[in-house]
Structures are given as C-alpha cells and as structure tokens.
Amino acid sequence: MATAAAISLSPSPQIRRLSASIAAPLRSISSLHFGSLRSNSSSLRNPSIRVSASSMRVGTPEKISTASFLDRRESGFLHFVKYHGLGNDFILVDNRDSAEPRITPEQAVKLCDRNFGIGADGVIFAMPGVNGTDYTMRIFNSDGSEPEMCGNGVRCFARFIAELENLHGKQSFTVHTGAGLIVPEIQEDGKVKVDMGEPILKASNVPTKLPANKDQAVVKSDLNVDGVIWNVTCVSMGNPHCVTFGNQESQNLTVDELNLAVVGPKFEHHEMFPARTNTEFVEVVSHEHLKMRVWERGAGATLACGTGACAVVVAAVLEGRAGRSCTVDLPGGPLDIEWKEEDNHVYMTGPAEVVFYGSVAV
C-alpha cells in the first residue's frame, strides 16, 4: 500500500540570509508516494516509490509556514525536517513528547535509502532531557545501528531545536547523548559551535585491542590491514575513531587518490576494533590545515564527520603534525576545530542547513 508524503523545499541560501530565522519553504510538492513504513518483512524486502507528476501542487510562501508544518500532529504520519552539515545529511524528528523513538531502526533504514526512501546518513530524534539536561539526542544510522554521537548531527540538532522552540540569535543548551553531555551554541552568523568534551585516549576505552604505546594511548602504532601496514592513532570522541596519516608504502597520504569503498570497510570491521570503528584518512596541508576523508561506522563514505574532524586534530597534535587549532577540509566543506589546552576540551564550529520539510506515513 502506498501513501502520500508531502515535501516542502527550503529557500535558497540567498533568501535565507534575508531572514533572522529559517525562512518559510518556497513551495510544497504533494503526491510523492513512499511505500508503507510499517515494519513487516514484505515491505522491507520490496520498498517502492512512485511520483505522480500530474497531481503535483505548487504553493506560495504565504500558504505554507514552517511553524504550521512542524505543529502538525496527524496520527499515522511522521513529520520531519531534513538537514545537512557539510553534506552529512539527517532526517530530524520532533520526539520531545516521548523517551522512545517514533520509528524503529528497520524503518530508519528504509527512510535513509537514497533510491527508495527519503535519503540520509541517519535519523535523529529530539527527545526529552535526562539528568538535568535540556534535551536528549538519539540517532539511528542508515544501516539501523545506533552510534553514541555524531558531530555534524548535533549541529543539525541544535538548529532543529532552535526552529522548534522559535529561538533566535545566540543560543546554547545542554544535550544528553550516548557519548555524554554535549553543549552546542548557535552563533550570531548561524553556525554552531559545539563543546565536544574531552577526547578519550586510553586504548581500552576507545575501544581498541591494539596495545598502548604512549601513556595508555595508541599513537602512531602499526596496524596490518589486509597486508598493508598503516600507522594509526586511536581516539574516541564518545565514539571510536582510527586516524591515519599514511602507511609503509606512502608515509604522506594524498587522500583524493584513496579508494575508500575498498579500504574503509577493512578498517571498520578489523578485529582490533571490538565495537567497529570510524576511520579518518588525513593529508597534512600545513600546521593549521588538514584534509581528510572518512569511512563512518554504519554509514560508509560520507561528505563530512564532525567527531572525525575532532579526532583528526587530536591525533595530529599527538603525532606532532599540527597545532591545536586547525581548519579541517572535508568533501562537504571545512570545519574549524580547536583542542584547548586549558580545559582539554575539543571545540567544533561549522554550519547546519535545512534541506526540506516532509511527511511520510508510518
């Protein structure tokens, strides 16, 4: 059974800049039909999507408002906003009325499918806070797994909360995640600065089975990946990261030449990482400028990874390759990362943008 899903596209960046808050959608397209998202084996095996061009309707900004869209509460429908942080894209769901996600991991897999669903790297739920925090953030990856945290995701989460709560200007709040307390701060220019907390370096807590070689940490250690010896540093930003700047064949990587689809899964599922791992391949441009490509645990190659960029700067400092404040280039764009010596916290600053608004039957 196919049911209708309405999608409202966000305005162009030029138009958004004219508004103090996220502008109302430019147009609404109806009759984009997704297969039912109910968790039954036949629908999961045979997802379907069809577009009926003859029944599309184009609305005007006056007829569609962001607030009215997010306030809809029709039973049987999931209303969402799609955001991206440097191309790392997420489906954001208002789940503030419940401590249980509104959809299952299996439904999240279907929603994230780029051919038969909405398309995303994950689904993020804005949930009630716990232990004195303002909100809780949970994520289902595109493969249905649940990571502890996501750096780009938390920036999107912050902008989503600001929209839900109609907040303007500089704002900050506390967020409970599987990685602990995270504090995002929306800046006056719309970017989001996030206190990502202290990096975890103790090998057993990353976790990795590689033996510690520097104050309980794994720094520039040898890792045999399918016969190639890579030099790796292991860092957790609440989720595990394996950072490499080169191997025995190439001490200084040219990351654009990497075949991520081949080498990435070999790192992710390596026996030295009992919880699997995210992997960052890094090219040093200068002491303050790094370039990386990432293979994310549970999502594969993505355009950006915020926790990965933080882990990269920490690893670069530990290996003596860069300073504590760096611009990190990712395929989706740059992030500004600082590992402050005063408090040992890592701070990430970058954008988060609306892509579109939509509804889908669940």
> Which one is catalytic: 150, 156, 242, 326?
150
* Number of residues assigned to the chain: 362
Residue 240 preceded by cis peptide, ω within 30: no
| Whole-number Å distance between alpha carbons of 51 and 282 | 41
Nearest to 176 by CA among 146, 144, 156, 148: 148
What pairs with residue 160 in β-bridges? none
The verdict on whether 150 is a catalytic residue reads yes
Helices (H), the chain: 13-16, 41-45, 66-70, 105-112, 151-164, 260-268, 306-318
For 68-87, letters b (16+ CB in 10 Å) and e give: ebbeeeeeebbbbbbbbbbe
> Which one is catalytic: 112, 156, 242, 305?
305
The verdict on whether 326 is a catalytic residue reads no
Write out the DSSP string of 128-159. Answer: E--TT-SEEEEEEETTS---S--HHHHHHHHH
Q: What angle do CA 318, 324, 328 make, to 5 degrees?
A: 95
Give the active site residues.
150, 305
